[in-house]
Amino acid sequence: MSAIYVYPREFERCVDLLTRKLEEAATRAGVPDSECTDLEATLVALPPVARSRAEALLNGIQLQAADDFPAMAFAAKYVVKLAHQMWENAPVSMVAMARAVDEEPPPRSPDHGLIW
């Protein structure tokens, strides 16, 4: 495997694009815009289900971009590592947990009826 040099401006641009993607995911998960002030805040604000989706998205981008867009692959790898650090140091907030409960479908019995 050969060494790849990523220009800082290109890396920053890729991280900005990934941040916007994550902000869109946060919005879909019900996170208010006011909680998405930057990349770190967006990562912390994501509810559990959105965190796993965000990680899958970033891993997919990293794999797809590896050959043709090394800066994007490197940025995605960076954001995944940052996300793991943020999530370890800032467990899911109560607000994010409440949002996650709201987005999960109600439990169903084996005969497909709702359980009340």
Q: Answer whether residue 116 is part of any domain.
A: no
Neighbours of 81 (CB within 10 A): 11
Q: Answer whether residue 60 is part of any domain.
A: yes
Domain span holding position 54: 8-103
pTM for the model stands at: 0.76
- Give the tens place of pLDDT for each residue, 28-47: 999 999 999 999 999 999 99
Q: Answer whether residue 109 is part of any domain.
A: no
Q: Answer whether residue 33 is part of any domain.
A: yes
Q: Structure tokens of 23?
A: 């902000």
Token pair 């815009």 is at which residue? Answer: 33
The number of CA neighbours under 13 Å toward the Cβ of 37 is 3
Q: Answer whether residue 66 is part of any domain.
A: yes
Closest CA to 61 of 51, 46, 71: 71
Q: Answer whether residue 98 is part of any domain.
A: yes
Q: Answer whether residue 108 is part of any domain.
A: no
What does DSSP assign to residue 110?
T
Q: Answer whether residue 65 is part of any domain.
A: yes
Neighbours of 3 (CB within 10 A): 4
- Give the tens place of pLDDT for each residue, 43-90: 999 999 999 999 999 999 999 999 999 999 999 999 999 999 999 987
Give the count of domains, the chain: 1
